[in-house]
Structure 1
């Protein structure tokens, strides 16, 4: 008989509820317990998982005996403390949302956790598992003949409203290039298979959130950026981010180029934001453009409508949970490690500092350099 996996959920905001919906699509799973301090978010979570017990703290969640793993989807600034609390009381397998941490001084805490934690930790980097991006990564070497240039372009909607407006400020989110973009720095390392040696960025707040105030404070979160990263193997990558471009047909456009040709993945944004008068939302595409014989070949990469309905990330949250469950049952290794999550944050922190200082930031993650200060 199949083993039922019992999940504990910490945090049931927008992303936490996406995790709930996708876990419930998997066979032999059960939401055993939820910790969500916000009353409105807690009610929304119980509509998805009425079977779950509700508790008032992480410690109370850990005291639930029938618990096999934990998903952390709390605000960014809470992740590391909750991981440490779990490690101290009951080190269960964990899937923790990105970013793993947000302040430079937290790095030693993560390194200690990485060396001491006795159970698997999976860092949630959903973009790896979007079907068009997963196919892009599979075809990358053959299509390019060896990647030399990688460009990631995200043109999307502004930051959504979150409880306590934690995502409106650098101090609680880590800054846009950590909070939003660690996904893309993770993709860069995964695709290029090398470590960054230099990060250069230009970024700022141009359009969004100027008319907002929280306890008398105006948001300081950036809404646009360019980031260029040089890698140790000679490849280079660029991120272009614009968060006031929700009118775009595709939200992410990723291209890789090498001596043999180019491959692109075009990924639409959340279907719930697509205007009804334009008809059905666009379908993701994969385009291969060889140098010889010249001529692009495009194919559509459709996603199961049930998965699109379950979240905003093109089905990736389901596929990530499918693999996480297989890992905690011992059927496969962890694919996104604490080290991966840490390095993605370090790249984001370097990009934040480069944009703030106007200087390129030299870094070599293999020799554990001092990481730059996060701009205020």
Structure 2
């Protein structure tokens, strides 16, 4: 297989996870990095000791060895950086979610999509968590056709990021974009249908209430319920709580149809599991047929090396493997710009619904830009 040589843009917390997982890939290296923060740049130099530390994206793109790119910068920079790359040297890109953070950005994304000559893969790695992938693979047979889908994430609060950029909705797009675009992508991916209406309730109840940065109080939300109606007639619900880090499992997904139910339970990052409780829990998939009754549980262990390389149950590594095949072998892009657009649009609509107390119709021209 031809070698992937990543130019990495942004090496904060998620960028460092990407570096650790790229190091585990065969036929992959990181010859160049752009990271403006000195602390993160120093950590990146340790993780990728052979990399040139570029002073800008333009300088990174002059490194001849670079033949693909990873964008893992703060949310509000993603689209701007894609546009800069398009203007200088458009290479294949794996770009972190979310693609954009405000409704007015959608027209710029549409222009980029129409003109960018190389593959762009949006980093929706939750699809590639082994228990989630197993559940998706078996969902049709287990349910007889999904009519109800529920995703619950009970987790720890937002972690500290460089410059505290993730404490403000204007930088992140809002919690239902920043955190939950993964889950909206999963809804579309699992149900194989597009959303038509979204209703939500959310807010800031426990976390960040006393956090002030440069005289401004954090406005990021820490909990929400979101209900989504799909064109297929299926319904989906998201339950998010970011002050529930005492939970045994971080994500729990259930899909139900006329034949039965299938669900998966995904533990959170092992580094947060209390040592006095012993080994961290192992992911599970549970199939519960209506007849004959009798739930069956299968554990889905993940390679410990992959668990140690990041906080996403091995999915970052598997995502890079698939991106590598798409770039080198011409396999299809599995998470497209359209997928990334829908995930953000659903998050923005949920933010709007929660703020206004009204359901949002996604057939509105306001949301139909791409």
After TM superposition, where is structure 1 displaced by more than 3 Å over at least 4 residues in a row?
none
Give yes or no for the alignment of 1:24 onto 2:30. Answer: no
Alpha-carbon separation, structure 2, partners of 1:39 and 1:255: 43
Shift of 1:212: 1.4
Q: Is the 8 A contact 1:130 1:316 kept in 2?
A: yes
Residue-by-residue CA offset, 1:178-227 (whole Å, 9 max, x unaligned):
00000000000001111111000000000001121100111000000000
Residue-by-residue CA offset, 1:347-366 (whole Å, 9 max, x unaligned):
000000000000000013xx
Residue-by-residue CA offset, 1:126-149 (whole Å, 9 max, x unaligned):
100000000000001000000000
Match of 2:366 in 1: 370
Q: Which runs of 5+ in 2 are unaligned?
A: none
Give yes or no for the alignment of 1:284 onto 2:288. Answer: no
Residue-by-residue CA offset, 1:213-265 (whole Å, 9 max, x unaligned):
10011100000000000001100000000000000000000000000000000
Alpha-carbon separation, structure 2, partners of 1:331 and 1:101: 26
Residue-by-residue CA offset, 1:276-313 (whole Å, 9 max, x unaligned):
00000000000000000001000000000000000000
Alpha-carbon separation, structure 1, partners of 2:123 and 2:241: 23
Give yes or no for the alignment of 1:165 onto 2:164. Answer: yes
Alpha-carbon separation, structure 1, partners of 2:277 and 2:357: 42
Alpha-carbon separation, structure 2, partners of 1:62 and 1:81: 15
TM-score by length of 2: 0.98
Residue-by-residue CA offset, 1:138-185 (whole Å, 9 max, x unaligned):
001000000000000000000000011111110011000000000000
Q: Which runs of 5+ in 1 are unaligned?
A: none
Match of 1:189 in 2: 188
Q: How many residues align?
A: 368
Q: Is the 8 A contact 1:349 1:371 kept in 2?
A: no
Match of 1:54 in 2: 53
Task: Give the superposed CA RMSD.
Answer: 0.9
Match of 1:9 in 2: 8
Match of 2:228 in 1: 229
Match of 2:322 in 1: 323
Q: Is the 8 A contact 1:31 1:52 kept in 2?
A: yes
Q: Give SS of 2:286's match.
A: strand
Alpha-carbon separation, structure 2, partners of 1:234 and 1:103: 28
Q: Give SS of 1:250's match.
A: coil
Shift of 1:3: 2.3
Alpha-carbon separation, structure 1, partners of 2:140 and 2:245: 32
Q: Is the 8 A contact 1:197 1:229 kept in 2?
A: yes
Match of 1:296 in 2: 295
Q: Give SS of 1:277's match.
A: helix
Alpha-carbon separation, structure 2, partners of 1:138 and 1:177: 26
Alpha-carbon separation, structure 1, partners of 2:96 and 2:244: 25
Shift of 1:4: 1.9
Shift of 1:63: 1.0
Shift of 1:72: 0.0
Match of 1:113 in 2: 112
